[in-house]
A = this chain, B = another copy of it.
Amino acid sequence: MRRIRARNFIRDSITLAAIGMAATGAVCEAAADQNLAPAVNVAGDKVLKFDWPEVQIGTGEYAEGPTGVTVFRFPRKAMGVVDVRGGAPGTVMTDYLRLGYESPDIDAIVFSGGSAYGLETTTAVATALKDDNIRNGFWNNTAVTAGAIIYDFGDRRLNEVYPDKKLAQAALRAAQPGVFPQGAQGAGRFARTGGFFNCGSYSGQGGAFRQIGNIKIATFVVLNAGGLITTRDGKIAACYDDASWPKALKTTDLLAAIPLSRKAGWNGVPRGGDNKNTTISLVVTNQKLSNAELQRLAVQVHTSMARAIQPFATVSDGDVLYAISTAETGNERGAGGRSASDLNNELGTADLGAIASEMMWDSILASIPDQPKAVAPSRDYKPQGRDIAAFAGKYVFSPFVTLEIKVDGDRLFALATGERPAYAIGKDKPVELLPVSPGYFTVPDRYPLTLRFDGPGRLIVNPGHWQQLGLRG
């Protein structure tokens, strides 16, 4: 349903974008905007549901990217802290969160794709709360939103659509309690993982919820890590293996082989390209904690994620974790490590942290969508030149990616003629597109790459959940 609606506006928006972007550098308000139609609350196949009115969630997506945003709203405000790791964070309003106030200030935590541009979604949620008269300009009723972003551009993307003000505000306005789409949805719409070993696998967003006595805990993650998602028994949860790798590799094997791998030209860290990876995460509890305790919780859980993502918190990861207490249960307490006094209403901070850490591991595992499988060329279907002649032409995906499709006899070839290549289709020499079925082709590679000629003048790369569209110029 969603996808059909999305397709309806793909054409126009892409066209508009192409035109607008052609006016490079011009000061042109109309063209400058992305001018896309948001799709909100895309549930996806897997949805985490839980009963907690104080945690409202809204997701928004631009199918054109694809990319998206996830908004966590706390309707009565809540106390929040932040723990920033790694070498490339993009954040909003974190200085305020470091002041240690015991007051409930936070209206929403906003996670987004779009690299630094996606930070627009965090500020947009604040202004939407103002525009909608939910918050106003009194200093003690000002909307306070904090957020962080992932880098979902680079070699994965044939355009640079980013989540913007319009998308974030639509997501906020559609937010509802207790519904969280798992997988490649929301801010995790086009996340990937394992780039440290060139895995190129898809990831997304994941969540977990648990209630112990009266204490509720939820953990959420948008995972775009360079590291390998690792199961509790050490297995790699998602990776397009290199052909040379032995079977049944574990994470520890790949880590042990780093020095060797780098030397031998074995697959390793991407060289020069797509090396910005980030995992952004959120822990929410209804237990009342002091600000210092909540900060300890944040540090403990964030650190624990190094088990499920290996390596983690590197110079290329801008990892950020927020922790929120809605303070609905638990007693007034001092600081320091406290043992559990009433297990229905209060857990010790370290216990709470250990439990939330396990839940975060679950969230990380839940963030992995079903991976597209490689499609083999057909053994039977052999198109003739006349079958494919209509596919020839230059397909524009964005101002910097254009694919030129040429017919040579009965064979079809693709060449990237814009600034940038498109996956295995480079700029130097044409790559043959091998037929799978009428209008549907593949390029054998470590990573699945398929192309579908979808009606007149439309070329869809990797048709399916992560598809991107080019229009013949």
Contact = CB atoms under 8 A, between A and B. Distances in A.
Interface of A: 20-21, 24-29, 31-34, 84-96, 99-103, 115-117, 119-120, 122-124, 126-128, 130-134, 136-139, 142-145, 151, 153-154, 157, 160, 162, 164-166, 169-170, 173-174, 196, 212, 226, 232-234, 252, 255-256, 258-259, 262-263, 268-272, 274-276, 290-293, 295-297, 299-300, 302-307, 310-316, 318, 320, 334-337, 339-340, 343, 347-351, 353-355, 357-358, 399-400
Contact of A271 (B28, B196, B339): B339
A154 to B, nearest CB: 7
Contacts of A315: 293, 296-297, 300, 336-337, 349-350, 353
Given A26-B132, A292-B100, A314-B296, A262 B340 contact: yes
Contacts of A311: 300, 304, 350, 353-354, 357
Contacts of A262: 340, 343, 347-348, 351
User: How many copies of this chain are found per oligomer?
Assistant: 4
A400 B100 contact: no
B300 A303 contact: no
Contact of A27 (B101, B120, B132, B312): B132
Contacts of A292: 87, 99-102, 291
B139 A115 contact: yes
Nearest to A340: B262
Contact of A300 (B20, B31, B312): B312
B272 A339 contact: yes
A291 B136 contact: no
A319 to B, nearest CB: 9
B350 A196 contact: yes
Contacts of A169: 29, 32
B337 A87 contact: yes
Nearest to A131: B32
B142 A116 contact: yes
Contact of A269 (B32, B101, B103, B348): B348
Given A100-B335, A302-B303, 8 more contacts: A32-B131, A84-B95, A90-B93, A259-B351, A299-B313, A300-B312, A306-B307, A315-B337
Contacts of A174: 27
Contact of A162 (B91, B120, B137, B340): B137
Nearest to A123: B120
Contacts of A314: 296, 300, 337, 349-350, 353-354
Contacts of A353: 311, 314-315
- Residue with the greatest number of chain B CB neighbours at <10 A, chosen from A21, A94, A274, A300: A300
A100 to B, nearest CB: 4
A187 to B, nearest CB: 15
A347 B263 CA distance: 10
Contacts of A132: 24-28, 32
Contacts of A234: 232-234
B316 A337 contact: yes
B255 A358 contact: yes
Contacts of A293: 315
B101 A95 contact: no
Nearest to A148: B95
